[in-house]
Every structure is written in C-alpha cells, then in structure tokens.
Amino acid sequence: MLFERRKAAFEGAVDAYYDDLYRYAFWLCRNQWQAEDVVQEALSRAWRGWSGLREARALKSWLFTIVHHEFVRAVKRVRVASLESEVEDVASDLPTDPSSAIELRRALRILPEASRQALLLQVLGGFSCAEIGAMLGIREGAVMTRLTRARQALRRNLEPDEFGAEANQS
Amino acid sequence: MNCLELRRMAILEPRQLDEVAFNHAEHCGACRDFLARTLQFESELIGALRVQVPAGAKERAVGAAIAPAAARAPRWIAIAAGFLLAVALGLAIAWPRNDPMALAGIDFVVYEEAQAILDAKPVDPEALQRVVAQLGIALPEQLGELRYVGPCPFAGTIAQHVVAKTAMGKVTLLLLPDRPLATRAVATARGLEAVITPAGRGSVAIIAGSPHNVERTEMLLKSS
C-alpha cells in the first residue's frame, strides 16, 4: 500500500518533469543515448532517495540537480565528448525554422559549459537566478553573468552584424 | 527604467520582463525593436533546446528505476516471508495431526463403546492376560479400577476392550495384538484425547478425556 502510494507519486513527478530532464541531460551530454542513460540513472537515484524528500516544492530542482550530478559522474566514466554527434540532427518539439534551429544548436554546442548549464536551467527548467545559483553552488550574481554571456555569445554567433550594432548601442 | 536597464534585463531574463519594461519599450522605438528581436531570439532558443524526447524513454526510465528497487524492496519482505513460511512449515510438521487410527479410537468410544459393553461376551481373563503379555505391557493397580474387559471388533480386528476408572476419569484401552504400529500416533476430537502407541508386535489405543490421563495411562502400561 505504502509502496503503491510512493510509486504513484514518483510516477507523477516523472510524468511532469521527464521531458525537461531529458532535454537538460541531452544538452549536457549532447547525445541522445547518453542523455537517456543519465536520466535513467538519475531517476533510479531519485527513487531510492524518494522517501527522504521532504519538500514537494523542491522536487523539480532536486530532480534537475540529480541529473546534473549524474552527468558529472557519467563524464568521469566516459568521454562524453566522444559521443557527441547528433545535436544538429535531432528534431525539435516545437515548430521552428530548421535552418535557424541548426545554427542555434551549433552555437549552443560551442557555448562554454558553465554558461550553457545556467542557460539550460533557466530556459528548460524555468528556474530563477537564485535557484540556479543554489543548484550549481554559485552566487546569484555569477549566474546572472553566465546567463548574460550565454545569450550574448549565441546572438553574436547567429547575428554577428546585428548584434554588434546592438551591443554598441547598449 | 532606462534603455540600458531594459536591455540588460531582456538579455538576462527575457521571460521575466515586467510591465515597466514593456511600458518603456512602448515609448522607445530602439528598445521596442531590440525587445522584439530578443523575444524572437528567445523563442528560437526555446525551439532549439526543446528537442524531441525519444518515444518510450520515460516509461523505460521509470521501469528501470522502480523495477530493481521493487525487486530490492521485497528482499527484506522475501526474507520475512521465507521465515514465516519456514515457521508455518515447521508448525505444520510439528503440529499434532489427527491420526486416522487414533481418531477411530475416539469414534469407537463415542459411538460404539456403550453398545459394545451391552453386547459383551463374558470376560475371558486368560485371553486378556495373553494379549497383555503379547503386547509386553502391564495393567497395574495404579491404573485404576477395571470396570469392563471384553473383546470387541475394532478397525478390522478383534481388540481387547478395557475400560478403567482412574483418579482422573474414565480411560478406554483397546489392546490390538494384531495391529503393528511404527510410530506413536495421536488424535484430539469430540473432547477426547487418543494415543495409539506401539506395543510388542501390536499396539495399544488409549482414549481419555485429558492428555494428562492418556500420558499417565501410557506410562503405567509400559511400566512393566
């Protein structure tokens, strides 16, 4: 009975957050199979620690943090970079201009790791700067810097002329 | 809010822009264009990041997360269940079950004894002594007062039927010289206790109202 209740709550959480967790893992690993493995392992850990979860509000950030830790563990085990191959080829869940999506994904791929992580947590996870800071163990100000740099770098890569003009204006 | 503040905010958290920022953009053409491009870029960014999730990945992940845990969780349950099963089996083995022959002894006392006494033939003390000797038992005085002794059919053979009045109540003995028995057997039914115990080349059924009386009688019979 207790097991069933716990299982139902866990399945509900996975149902709500799996897609974003997968996408987060995908952009960390930049590989579909590796991302699936990372999320699967993260969810196994989450299930094992489920009874220790006290704050339902913290559930989402808890799951993202586990995925992040699992990614770090996976990097130590395998050379993730060696598996990168398909970032540009993966279909989007939203209707997008394919050429701009490909360009953007290329730009995301070469984004510095720290900036990319903060951006992923903000765009995919919808977390605030303070929450991202808590998850990555950095100050809120540092998160703001990373986010600003990430977007500037992406736009610089995609719209060098336009962005240069805007940057000059601002 | 000035233009610089709006642009910083738009680059930092474009989805968190407040009313003040939009009010500024309404009155500032350059910021309005900047904001439009920023929101357009943000929309493209979201589109690029929202890669399709492989079909069935969620189900696979949940299955993999819960299944081993479910298998692990019952590990202690399995141990407990195994223990309980072992106890149950032990109890089932150790629990005294009604032996058919001992149960027949009880049924005899309940349903046939009275009629057997009524139909009794005259006592043949020699036959009784012969059977007692054959079984290697004794009928000592401590057993109590023998109220009835007589042959009677029981379980396909002729038993020496003995009724004794003991200090603890009535005891019925069925001496079965032709019924060998490998092990002692017991039964409890209808408020009576019965034991059939091997004796010589035959056996003896002891039926009484209490286990204590049965045990005492058994001990006295074998005291010879």
- Can you tell me the ipTM of this complex? 0.83
pLDDT at position A103: 81
- Mean pLDDT, chain B, integer: 84
Q: Name residues whose C-beta falls within 8 Å of residue A126's C-beta, 6 or more positions apart in sequence.
A: none
| Percent of chain B surpassing pLDDT 90 | 8
DSSP alpha helix (H) spans, chain A = 2-29, 32-48, 59-77, 80-83, 98-109, 113-123, 129-136, 140-158, 160-169
Could you tell me the pLDDT band of residue B16, with boundaries at 50, 70 and 90? Answer: confident
- A136 three-state secondary structure: helix
Predicted model pTM? 0.57
| Rounded mean pLDDT, B106-116 | 84
Does residue A71 contact residue A38 with C-beta atoms inside 8 Å?
yes
Q: Give the up-direction half-sphere exposure of residue B156: CA atoms within 13 A in the CB hemisphere.
A: 3
Chain B interface mutation, best of A1, A4, A23, A47, highest count of B Cβ atoms under 10 Å: A47
User: Domains of chain A, with CATH numbers?
Assistant: 1-87 (1.10.1740.10), 96-170 (1.10.10.10)
Query: Taken in order A44, A47, A48, A53, is the CA torsion positive or negative?
Result: positive
pLDDT at position B205: 93
Q: Name the residue ranges covered by the structural domains of chain B.
A: 3-49, 100-221
Does residue B139 contact residue B224 with C-beta atoms inside 8 Å?
no
Residue A48 contacts B where some CB pair is shorter than 8 Å:
yes
pLDDT at position A78: 67
pLDDT at position B17: 83
Residue recorded with tokens 């953009």: B25
Q: Is the pLDDT reported for residue B120 higher than 60?
A: yes
Q: Is the pLDDT reported for residue A169 higher than 60?
A: no
| Rounded mean pLDDT, B98-115 | 86
pLDDT at position B91: 72
Q: Is the pLDDT reported for residue B122 higher than 90?
A: no
Q: Is the pLDDT reported for residue A22 higher than 90?
A: yes
Q: B100-221: which CATH architecture? A: 3-Layer(aba) Sandwich (3.40)
Give the separation between CA B168 and CA B92, rounded to whole angstroms.
31
Give the separation between CA A2 and CA A130, rounded to whole angstroms.
35
Residue B29 contacts A where some CB pair is shorter than 8 Å:
no
* Phi (first) and psi of residue B169, to 5 degrees: 115, -175
CB-CB under 8 Å, B34 with A18: no
CB-CB under 8 Å, B52 with A92: yes
Span B189-218, pLDDT tens digits: 888 999 999 988 889 999 999 988 898 888
Q: Name residues whose C-beta falls within 8 Å of residue B119's C-beta, 6 or more positions apart in sequence.
A: B152
DSSP code at position A51: G
Chain A positions in Cβ-Cβ contact with residue B52 (cut-off 8 Å): 90-93
Q: Is the pLDDT reported for residue B29 higher than 80?
A: yes
Using alpha carbons, list the distances in angstroms from residue A74 to A28, A118, B121, B206.
11, 19, 96, 77
pLDDT at position A161: 64
pLDDT at position A149: 92
Q: Is the pLDDT reported for residue A82 higher than 60?
A: no
| Rounded mean pLDDT, A109-114 | 86
Q: Chain A: give the shortest CA distance to residue B216, in Å.
A: 53
Q: Among B13-22, B30-39, B69-78, B168-177, name the one with the lowest average pLDDT.
A: B69-78
CB-CB under 8 Å, A43 with B62: yes
Q: Return the axis-axis angle of helices A113-123 and A140-158, rounded to nearest 10°.
A: 100
Span A24-66, pLDDT tens digits: 999 888 888 889 999 999 999 888 888 777 676 788 888 999 9
Closest Cβ opposite residue A47 in set B4, B48, B65: B65
CB-CB under 8 Å, B48 with A105: yes
Closest Cβ opposite residue A170 in set B7, B41, B73: B7
